[in-house]
Amino acid sequence: MSQVVSFHPPAAPVTLPTDATWPVEDIIALFELPLNELLSRAQEAHKAHFPEGDVELATLISIKTGGCEEDCGYCSQSSHHETELKASKILPLDEILEAARAAKANGAIRFCMGASGRSPKERDMPKYEEIVRAVKALGLETCATLGMLREEQALRLKEAGLDYYNHNLDTSPEYYPSVITTRNYQERLDTLGRVRNAGLKVCCGGIIGMGESRRDRAGLLAQLANLNPYPNAVPINHLVPIAGTPLANVEPLDTFEFARTIAVARIIMPKARVRLSAGRESMSEAEQALCFMAGANSIFYGEKLLTTGNAEAEKDRALLKKLGLKIKEIEADHHHHDHD
């Protein structure tokens, strides 16, 4: 009888190169600094690379939801978990554009589109390309997260006008198998390589508070910081536990540990936009302020712009105003600068 080949050959352990700029031990040493010293170092790095001190507003929309064949332990979209979520087809283009216009009108400069699934189906690629072209034509920066990509898919998205591709590493290589079994770490790194080779900017971060140790948080940041180059945008998500998922009852993470993670990310990836992403809604203003002080300078903003009369967006803008934080404006195309 022929031997059954498992869908996922065990991946070789993912290790950092021996000459890595940021060994895990050095990153752990940063985590262990007294908080005020860590914040002070993060602010120095932040000022040096972002003298404007502005915050970038990005709006995220799910253009295809649920029914995903992967088993990511944190996710409501996995068909492996019993959650309330119903699967949907790709949203019609006019609905996506309505959301993009609302986002732009509310000051967002980047429009991020997520589709559930392991990787884009070939038959859906022309649709995704059309969506990217149309959103780009509104004058927004475009970002997509569609799972694993093949080389030519990355090139086609670039050709359509995609600016950023998001593909998170989620956690450290060591902790990863206890969260996800349907895709290995190396496959994530391979997708990032293809995205970079296609000339797309990389948006890549992870999720904090999934029951991982501080060493795992340092391990995730080490993987990110030692990518060559490190990502342009680094979303730091705070786990939002969802009923029906394996991580529904995980012990909540301490706020200061979350802020430390942001500060360390800022120090070791000083030029990246570090984004305060999922989980921000449940943070108090003081907790969010601490994250901005730690060097976060991008937020996901106004996901419900179309449905809740912008109360959420207003609240976000009011907080930024209280903290005296400027909002990043869309940069004009370079050819407009000739007349300055």
Location of structure tokens 């993060």: 42
Helix ranges restricted to H, the chain:
24-31, 35-49, 93-105, 125-137, 151-159, 185-197, 214-225, 255-268, 285-293, 311-322
Counting residues of the chain whose pLDDT is more than 70, the rounded percentage is: 86
pLDDT confidence of residue 6:
40
pLDDT band at 336 (very low <50, low <70, confident <90, very high): very low
Mean pLDDT taken over the chain: 86
Distance, first Cα to last Cα, the chain: 74
pLDDT confidence of residue 27:
97
CA distance readout (Å), 78 to 27, 49, 116:
32, 38, 8
pLDDT band at 334 (very low <50, low <70, confident <90, very high): very low
Q: Is 270's pLDDT higher than 70?
A: yes
∠242-173-6 over CA atoms, to 5°?
85
Can you read off the two tokens belonging to residue 14? Answer: 């993912």
Distance CA 327, CA 321 (A): 9
Largest CA distance in the chain: 74
Distance CA 249, CA 74 (A): 11
pLDDT tens per residue, range 6-29: 445 455 678 887 878 999 999 999
- DSSP state letters, 293-331: HTT--EEE--TTTTTSTTHHHHHHHHHHHHTTPPBPPPP
pLDDT band at 240 (very low <50, low <70, confident <90, very high): confident
Residues found in the chain: 340
Distance CA 81, CA 281 (A): 24
pLDDT confidence of residue 72:
77
Prediction pTM value: 0.88
Q: Is 306's pLDDT higher than 80?
A: no
Distance CA 333, CA 207 (A): 34
Can you read off the two tokens belonging to residue 164? Answer: 């950023």
pLDDT tens per residue, range 51-77: 988 999 888 888 887 667 776 777 767
Q: Is 289's pLDDT higher than 70?
A: yes
pLDDT confidence of residue 302:
65
pLDDT confidence of residue 79:
62
* 95-113 core/surface letters (b: 16 or more CB in 10 A; e: else): ebbebbbbbbebbbbbbbb
pLDDT confidence of residue 15:
81
Burial class (CB in 10 A: 0-12, 13-18, 19+), 312: middle
Supply the residues annotated as catalytic: 68, 72, 75, 112, 143, 203, 275
Instruction: Write out 122-180 in H/E/C secondary structure.
Output: HHHHHHHHHHHHHHHHCCCEEEEECCCCCHHHHHHHHHCCCCEEECCCECCCCCHHHCC
Distance CA 290, CA 258 (A): 10
Burial class (CB in 10 A: 0-12, 13-18, 19+), 309: exposed
**Mean pLDDT value of segment 157-180:** 92
Q: Is 267's pLDDT higher than 60?
A: yes
